[in-house]
Amino acid sequence: MIETISNYSKATDFLKDWIEFKKSKRAGFSMRRLCSLLELKSPNYLALILDGKRALTIDIGLRLAKQMSLSKTEADYFISLIEAENSLSDRDQEIHEKKVLRSRRHLKTEFVEESQIKFVAEWYHMVVRELALLPEFEFSPRYVVKKLNQRISIEEAEASLQLLKNQGLIAQSEDGSWFSTDKVLDTGDTVFDRELMEQHHAATLRMWSESLSTLNPKEQQLGLLHIPIATEKIPELRDRIRRFQDELIGWLVEEKNPDRVVQVGTYLIPFDK
């Protein structure tokens, strides 16, 4: 079985493994046959690409994505890898690498369902779920309270663990260890009402306010921007903030050795009318 495309950092590596996988599963499959399906003039074109003698272009990449039956998010990631590999300058490389990170984030995302509304009712449920990604995680209220520096009670920690377990957001493996079932969760824009999300963020901001003086200043990054802006540019500013969030998640979603959980907040608040 071929690995999921999000585990690849080069489009040509994924293509090579996909071709080998197809050869092992389908008699008569060959690169010559694939070149014909892609309507390439030379039957050796793909071989030249895999040998590094020709570049994998976006046009061919789009045709390949269709032949490989990639989903839209998988195809977007595949094309972003091609763009990054074909970058001609450091600036282009930086732009396309950010696009790769954003595409990888979307590949890894699962949306929180309306039936899981209790998951966003308290600020700490999301943090406790992330703790389950740490190698030393324990399904223990005392462990959770200690990791959160006593910011919640034993009773709240116990209720949070049970909630995450009952909603399938953390699970137990055969060896008895617990793990987070999805690395990237998104509340989306349509499932949860505005009042609930405002309450969630208000509780988080209160916790931050109460915790600032107790945190290591060398590990914090406090920044507050006051920006004059034209009203018509606010939607673009929101999009830029979201892209930045996606880049951070895409950068860290494959973290192999996590030992901490941090919160990063991004807020856009228009005070005037």
Pick among 2.40.50.140, 3.40.1530.20, 1.20.1250.20, 1.10.260.40: CATH of 5-86 = 1.10.260.40
Residues of the chain with CATH 1.10.10: 114-220
Give residue 192's pLDDT: 67
Which of the four pLDDT bands, split at 50, 70 and 90, describes residue 158? very high
Give residue 261's pLDDT: 92
Give residue 253's pLDDT: 82
Range of lowest pLDDT (135-144, 231-240, 248-257): 248-257
CATH number for the domain whose boundaries are 114-220: 1.10.10
Quote the percentage of the chain above a pLDDT of 90.
Answer: 43
Please tell me which residue, 27 or 82, carries the higher pLDDT value: 82
Residues of the chain with CATH 1.10.260.40: 5-86
Average pLDDT of span 199-221: 87
Average pLDDT of span 71-84: 93
Give residue 165's pLDDT: 93
Tokens representing residue 67 in the block: 């032949």
Average pLDDT of span 42-49: 89
Whether pLDDT at 126 is above 80: yes
Whether pLDDT at 1 is above 80: no
Average pLDDT, the chain: 88
Give residue 70's pLDDT: 93
Give residue 252's pLDDT: 87
pTM of the complete model: 0.74
